[in-house]
Structure 1
Amino acid sequence: MSQTADADTSQQTDRNNHPNPPATLSALAVEAGIKFNGSAPWDIQVHDERVYDRILLDGSLGFGESYMDGLWDCDQLDVLFCRLLNAEIDQKIDKWRRLRLLGEILRHRLFNLQSRRRAFQVGEQHYDTGNDVFERMLDPSMSYSCGYWKDATDLTQAQSDKLDLVCRKLELKPGERMLEIGSGWGSLAHFAAKHYGVEVVGITVSKEQMQLAEARCEGLPVTFKLMDYRDVDGQYDKLASVGMFEHVGPKNYRTYFDIAKRVLKKDGLFLLHTIGAPFSTPKTDPWIDKYIFPNGKLPSAREITSSIEHRFVIEDWHNFGRDYDRTLMAWWANFDRAWPELSAKYGQRFYRMWRYYLLQSAGFFRSGQGQLWQIVLAHRQRSTPYRSVR
């Protein structure tokens, strides 16, 4: 099903009728092996020349919004973004936008964008988008994080293998009590309770997620709570956090690990599953921040390790970021296939936004800029030797 050229027909004039893009943009595109109005499937087909000014003025935000507005198209957005990121075009454009970029950096440095007051915003804007979207896009377990494709041939198996990998890394045993920080639609809680015999307490900031998770885990020793991680108490044998740390923010990392240290029993294990950035940066992508994950921030390895010091020891660090590319392409195929059922409710601008989000993200991981880490942590005083698994 192709929906890449269905903007207003008044905008879709012959590509050769448009003025050439500014020389600076053309030169950067050439660096990435991309052309404006070229013939390759990853080339940018311009329908409205205003797109050039929006890129120059607003960078990635203007690029994404102009796509949502139908000002340009591309048959293979994932390849386009992989090429742009491999050539570091995003960073080069930022150099021209120093005044605006400074404002974005100051916003992150001066304000705690992941404060307790803001904690529920991402749940309301993104995770509460609509369970119908996620039910059609995700696998049957409703896992909204990277699958593990080492031995898998389809999305369902990749997600089942990921859930089992988490449980094996945590050395789960029947009767143990596990806390899941960021429980989503209950995929890990359901899997761990059913296959490993543990009791699970899951916390989330999304009402929609919690409602569906409770229904899916009915009859299992699983409890969900609508709460911020800063309100967690009690003692747990094991801790897991899968795809939630990206919403914590650098100003809160030490608090996050202090809480995890306090509630984890001395001989327990903590598995942190998070997307990682290849370097520390004081800002986040403004389009993703505005439309997908408000107030999110990808951690770097240095930011994580400096926050762990004097709190935990690292027992294992596993990177399988390339698997996220394959996961995202499977999500896109599911969403695109289901679009006829969703279109009347969500509309064409949502379709373009969601397509841009999934395929941009696939290109991010394919380029190697995006990484996916599973980190196993323990108290320094833990008496049981740890043996990593893959």
Structure 2
Amino acid sequence: MKRAVVVQAKRTPIGKENGMLHLLRPHELAAPLLQHLGRGIEDKVDDVILGNVVGPGGNVARLSALEAGLPFSVTGMTIDRQCSAGLEAIRMACYLTQGGAGQCYIAGGVESTSTSPYPTRAQFSPDSIGDPDMGVAAEYVAREYGITREMQDEYALISYKRSWEAYEKGLYKQEILESGQFEMDEEFLRPRNMERLVKRAKAVFVQENGTVTAANSCGIHDGACAVLVMEETLANQLDFQPVLRFIDSQVSGVHPHYPGIAPVPAIQELLKRNRLTIEDIGLVEINEAFASKIVACTQELSIPYEKLNVRGGALTLGHPYGASGAILVTRLFYEVQRRKDVKYVLAAIGSGGGIGITILFEVVV
């Protein structure tokens, strides 16, 4: 069987909804990434696969590929698996490479909430089951798994501190492809007293005994992210350094009222099938849509905070839906190159409708 490896990864800066990136449509956000990742190997790119959730419809990946100046032969495919879409795009590219359908894919996701033509979200679940908003569903997770407001706030502060530390050390610069005047994530343009904000924030989704606040939840954001997936032999022939080798993945479904816990069964099944335990995994990235989700997942999986989201995440930077799964992989791509003691890493995300996706990579460098 052929082996799929991630050899490059880049993202845009992340902007707030109606913030610094608000004039850029999805294909305009994604195109510079595709151009960068495809530079010099345009004739080798078999396809572009992008996740997109709230954007204008149509084939955003094809439009982005054309905008990037890639050959007309690069057709482009756009997928929507809600917040899991960017990770699913990478998962699909790895399986296509592994199966021999192609040897080189650009995969990731893009979201422009600022230019979305849709005033409301899509339906996640039929009325007969119930279709809670994600914030309400985060409260359901907190209640079902005994996650208190204090536990959520504690994790939120850990994440905020890690994000700011990573920014101040210049670590995010490695991830970001600077585009025009945009060089950093919008969150870092104005420092805030997060300890005070976390302490004072009030519940926003469930008023009576609510625990989920604006300070322990992610915001709504714009951004794009993509990685270059190659068959390992081709990567070596073209003098690319493989960093992450795709090993396996798992998709699992849970009750739509508890999407935040969906990564748990996916990770459990993936580890079991590969005869691994969480102790074997050096780094874990789980999308920080809500602190309640992260605390519940770590509790159920016994993941120590020391190996989870070690450079912060969406609670600070934001959650551009279709891109977030690819941002997790990009974070791992750069972090493993700073370490010498990591063999396996996991990226995981839960999404609307109760779907969890996780990918297991082996570190090559």
The TM-score with structure 1 as length reference comes to 0.30
Of Structure 1 and Structure 2, the greater strand share is in 2
Of Structure 1 and Structure 2, the greater helix share is in 1
Structure scoring higher RCO (CA < 8 A, sep ≥ 6) equals 2
The TM-score with structure 2 as length reference comes to 0.32
Question: Rg larger in 1 or in 2?
Answer: 1
